[in-house]
Chain A
Amino acid sequence: MTAPAARAPWTPARTGVWVGIAAISMSFAAFTSALIVREGPGSDWQHFRLPPVLYANTLVLLVSSALLEIGRRRQRDGREASSWVAASGILGVAFILGQIVAWRALAAQGVFLASSPSSAFFYVLTVIHAIHVTGGLAGLGYTYRRLVRTPGSAAGVLTAAATYWHFMAALWLYVLFVLVARI
């Protein structure tokens, strides 16, 4: 029987990620409450069909999150993890590209930011989420570098990056739910 693996030490980076998650959650709560209020009294709320590519993007982001989790566990067990982090990052880039495809698809239909309040919230929520995912990609890049250069001391950073990245996936599920339910 092998000895249980030691968990990653608690580091300020992990605290920072949780604090960041709290701030981002509050921001999206604010956007959501604004959406609900704005939808309420106005007669100009227009429903439109969401671009199907959003669902494929969802799958890409979830797989990306799963790959990073595998990488985190491999690192915890003392095995190579950088390639899993790289794969996760590549899928993260694919998610961003997929979101751009979705925005272009809507624009091709004549649905722009100012077309209606519903389209405005669509673009605001998806763009703000994409900006946060881009920040997460920067974090994954840093984590990859740490894993390659100093793998012995990268556990805390990897755990922090994974926490943030999983949150990005969960946040996207939430955003998608709001969009499906309201738009």
Chain B
Amino acid sequence: MTTPVRETVAKLTELKHQPPEGFWRRYVFSLDHKVIGRQYLDLALVAVITGMVLSWLMRLHLGYPNASIGVLGPANPSQMTPEYYLQLMTMHGTIMVFFVLTTAPFAGFGNFFLPIQVGAEDMAFPRFNMMSFWVTFLAFVTLVASFFVPEGPALSGWTAYAPLSAIGKEAGPGEGLGQTLWAISIALFCVGQLLGALNFIATTLDLRTKGMSLARMPFSTWAWFTTSVIGLIAFSVLLPACILLILDRVAGTSFFIPAGLVFNDQVQTHSGGSPLLWQHLFWFFGHPEVYIAILPGFGIISHILPAFTRKPLLGPKVLIGCMIAIGFLSYTVWGHHMFLSGMNPFSAILFSVPTLIITIPATIVTLLWIGSIYGARLRITAASLFCLGFVSVFVSGGISGFFLAQPSIDTYLHGTYFVVGHFHFVMGVAAMFGIFAGTYFWFPKMYGRMMNETLGKWHFALTFIGVYCIFMPMHYIGLAGNVRRYSSFTDDYLQPLLPVHKFMTIAALFTGAAQLIFFYNLFRSRFKGPPAPPNPWEATSLEWSTPASPPPFDNFGGKHPVVTQGPNEYGTAGAKDYVMQAGGEA
């Protein structure tokens, strides 16, 4: 009896669609994974600029609370209202977490490079892939549209805690149509990411070229694959949560709204709902989301570092095992976001222990990076510098996580800027450094031109200094009891900390200005950068074996690469100190 077989790649990777013709098919509704990857990255670029501007406005108000910021506060044109501050905070968090940290390192780079790195000609389901991007785009447009509705965008935070998020416009500014659009946007985003995860998993499992065993997959591919599995589960839970939230808002149901709730002197007609239910559903997604944002960074750094240390990364199988362990453990820790929700103290311990355990694989990965750098003759480039920066900020943010994992300490710190500093380092800045490292490393392959290295190094240096000046003081003011989510600190015991806020505001503006170097380098290099050689970094993986940069429509010019070794073959003896993965063609 024959058994089910995974057909050889030569048959399975036959393209299911022809090269596109015409502007719309080639650049807009393209089925090509490389175009879709670039579309995701461009979307993330727009999103990150939007999110960064919002953060500047917040920081300006925090540092200079009495200053006029023009027309920004709709209720009070001369000064930002607390409600408007919360709306900016909500939109900043939502845009950054969903449309930047998830979109760029996972959907952007993953779409472009995962099929190439496994030797496939495209994703397994190109049409789903195209739908994934356009649904995500629609989600972004929906979210941004909420800026222009009468009560403005949502103000219940990127976590949209119920019952505030579930009531409706009677709850106050930002709780009208803007909050509904927020929920619709995130539901759409979930659909887009589920379609993406479906593609990533099927492509990785079924479309690997001959010789590309799982053990020979690049670390970045492993990271995208692990992330897609995490995302598949996480977004499958957030989507139902958003559906229930939307129904509470528009259909009169009471999933999250408790009985007897009074808003603006009005008793709500809803009854019996559970606000904690929303928190559980949200954080069951929310904590894995941290790893959805950071694991692609793990993969990118692990993929890039050996190309610049010129020696194999230590413990490749251990590293892959740690990424899988982190993915698994990420589903056991969501309650640590809810230590202050009134949960049973024994439950808190139940969530605290795995939270501490998850630091073990994260620490092992960090030690593998540091061990791999030790003794290496590191080639200093913008990409390798951002790799080092990634390790630095990840360690800095990770260490503060040890404190927050313990309920007794978290009880004091949870509502303070200590948490803001922690997650911006370990999730936000680290993931951004991964994106920057990936951009400087893969730009030659994506656009066929080199970025300016000098500008890249300046970009790194200024950004590295800037982010530490922004986020390290947050730990100190958090320890001093500076509460978060407040729009200003002018009338209370926190006033002595105002100079620190001014310092962080200046640092934020400085760091933002430093990004102009990156934007200039990015756009200029796209059109006027020097032509890229086929393998400028002397790297080993399949993306550097394509016949051109950017790769042709079918990636390998109608041929199927045959893989003969893993991606970690650096520091070898011979004329070259590395061995390409592609040893031949089928």
Contact = CB atoms under 8 A, between A and B. Distances in A.
Nearest to A41: B274
B206 A30 contact: no
Contact of A124 (B2, B6, B244): B244
Interface stretch (B246-254, B393-401, B416-424): B246-254
B4 A7 contact: yes
A44 B7 contact: no
Interface string A11-50: 1100110011011101101110110011001111100000
Given A19-B202, A26-B237, A37-B274, A124 B247 contact: yes
B56 interface: no
Interface in A101-160: 113-114, 117, 120, 124, 128
B243 interface: yes
B247 A34 contact: no
Interface string B199-240: 001110111000000000000000000000000110111011
A27 B239 contact: yes
B316 interface: no
B272 interface: yes
Nearest to B1: A4
A41 B236 contact: no
Contacts of B124: 12, 15-16
Contacts of A9: 4-7
B198 interface: yes
Contact of B240 (A16, A22, A31, A117): A31
Interface string B254-290: 1100010000000000011110110011001000000
B128 to A, nearest CB: 8
B242 to A, nearest CB: 11
B419 to A, nearest CB: 26
A117 B254 contact: yes
A12 B271 contact: no
A114 B255 CA distance: 10
A8 interface: yes
A42 B271 contact: yes
A174 interface: no
Nearest to B3: A7
A10 interface: yes
Nearest to A29: B237
A44 B244 CA distance: 17
A29 B285 CA distance: 13
Interface of A: 4, 6-12, 15-16, 19-20, 22-24, 26-27, 29-31, 33-34, 37-38, 41-45, 113-114, 117, 120, 124, 128
15 contacts: A12-B125, A12-B207, A15-B124, A19-B197, A23-B194, A23-B235, A34-B244, A34-B277, A37-B280, A42-B259, A44-B254, A45-B272, A113-B253, A120-B247, A128-B243
